[in-house]
Structure 1
Amino acid sequence: MSQFVISAPPVTSVEVAGSDARFPVRRVFCVGRNYADHALEMGGNPDREPPFFFQKPSDAVVPASGQIPYPPLTSDLHHEIEMVIAIGKEGTNVSTDDARDLVWGYGVGVDLTRRDLQAAAKKLGRPWDWGKGFDLSAPTSPLRPVSEVGHLEAGRIWLTVNGELRQEGDLRQMIWPVVDIIRYVSESVTLKPGDLIFSGTPAGVGAMQPGDTVRGGVEGIGEFEFRIGDA
């Protein structure tokens, strides 16, 4: 039996609501501009653009609770509230009719973004990795299984900073609903158990500062609260 030459990294996992069990994280996919109002505020055209995707490292996923330090190399840290899809079965080239069969459950996450680094990368035609895939950049609430919440196609999604409502929308406003997201991702890669998909954010993304309290939620799934700590 072979041995690792260094200690194997720990498995990232997400709490399952009401259970001692945890959901292991394999990969994290994110959908860009999946709400029309957000696509417009970011300079896109929701009537013409197909969905596109980027990734975060699995260990960017942390509990959406307690304190999350302000990350380095930025002075423009933004919040993006999203419903999170947890994949429980393998699938390649999955049809929209079969897509729901792959879903284990749902959660609520925040796609933290170093907007200044992302903007600089866009201007130079470079990848977004340093703007999106940094440490602790995917705070995620406890997941809830489909057997409890069903497959949500509507419901309020919202985020506040220090009690001020910043983002508010409804899941029915997604340009590409869950079944389409799964279909598009599975055309490019084989989805496998443990994959998470952040499904896009409504308009109202904005900056946060150390000391800010961030709350949010998705109706039918749950809510979270965390604080932005010092750099």
Structure 2
Amino acid sequence: MANRLFPDPSYPAVAIAGESNLYPVHRIFCVGRNYAEHAKEMGVEVDREAPFYFLKDAQAFVESGATIPYPCGTENYHYEMELVVAVGTPLFRASVEEARNAVFGYACGLDMTRRDLQLKARETRRPWDLGKNFEHSAVLAPIVRAEQAGEIGPQRIMLEVDGETRQDAHLSDLVWKIDELLSHLSHYYHLKPGDLIYTGTPAGVGSVLPGAKIAGHIAGLPSVFLTIGEAE
């Protein structure tokens, strides 16, 4: 029998609010330009024909409350506050109604971004991986089960850096709603429990430096916290 040359990394897992259970994180899908005002501040238009996505590795996950090093290779490190959706049942070629019933829960998340690398890739029409998919770039607070979170839509979504509000919007501002995103994505992937969807960020993104303390909030969900440490 062939032997594996080195140990496989285990899947990370995120806490479920009020429970001892953990939700394993298998894949992380991220939606681009899903708030019109954010697209505008980035100098682009929202594609209203269909949403688009980029992915992060499960190993990019980091728990809320962590202190992480300022990442290598960038001089313009940005926060992006997002509503995160956790998939609860398998979905493939699902209708919007089927997608609506497949949500396990919701959480506050941060899509940390090496903005200079992302913009360089965008200008040269290359993939965004260096700007988006790197260590400690997917921060997540505990998940609240869908039945406990209630209807998603009117809640306020906001982010503070060192106590100063930088992002402030409402989930009703989402261009593509949650059930639409899940339905659309299920026509390209077999979605399963363990899949997370970061649904996009509102306007107000900006850079942070070592020492910054980030706090993101969505009404009814545990807040997400992150401290930026010194560069390695």
Q: TM-score, normalised by structure 2?
A: 0.95
Aligned pairs (5 A) from 1:76-225: 76-225=76-225
Aligned pairs (5 A) from 1:68-79: 68-79=68-79
Secondary structure of 2:215's partner? strand
**Aligned partner of 1:82: which letter?**
E
**CA-CA distance at 1:184 after TM superposition:** 1.2
- Aligned residue in 2 for 1:24: 24
List, as ranges, runs of 4+ consecutive aligned residues in structure 1 with deviation greater than 3 Å: 1-5
User: How far apart, CA to CA, are the structure 2 residues paired with 1:95 and 1:48?
Assistant: 19
User: How far apart, CA to CA, are the structure 2 residues paired with 1:156 and 1:203?
Assistant: 13
* TM-superposition CA deviations, 1:58-78 (whole Å, max 9, x none): 111111213121100001000
**Aligned partner of 2:90: which letter?**
E
Q: TM-score, normalised by structure 1?
A: 0.96
**Aligned partner of 1:105: which letter?**
G
Query: Which deviates further from its counterpart, 7-16 or 134-143?
Result: 7-16
Secondary structure of 1:181's partner? helix
User: How far apart, CA to CA, are the structure 1 residues paired with 2:205 and 2:86?
Assistant: 23
Secondary structure of 2:37's partner? helix
User: How far apart, CA to CA, are the structure 1 residues paired with 2:170 and 2:5?
Assistant: 48
Stretches of structure 2 that go unaligned for 5 or more consecutive residues are none
**CA-CA distance at 1:147 after TM superposition:** 2.4
Secondary structure of 2:217's partner? strand
Question: How many aligned positions are there?
Answer: 231
Secondary structure of 1:120's partner? helix
User: How far apart, CA to CA, are the structure 1 residues paired with 2:2 and 2:219?
Assistant: 47
CA RMSD of aligned residues (A): 1.4
Secondary structure of 1:225's partner? strand
Secondary structure of 2:97's partner? coil
User: How far apart, CA to CA, are the structure 2 residues paired with 1:4 and 1:144?
Assistant: 37
**CA-CA distance at 1:19 after TM superposition:** 1.6
**CA-CA distance at 1:174 after TM superposition:** 0.3
User: How far apart, CA to CA, are the structure 1 residues paired with 2:118 and 2:47?
Assistant: 23
Identity of aligned residues (%): 43
Secondary structure of 1:40's partner? helix
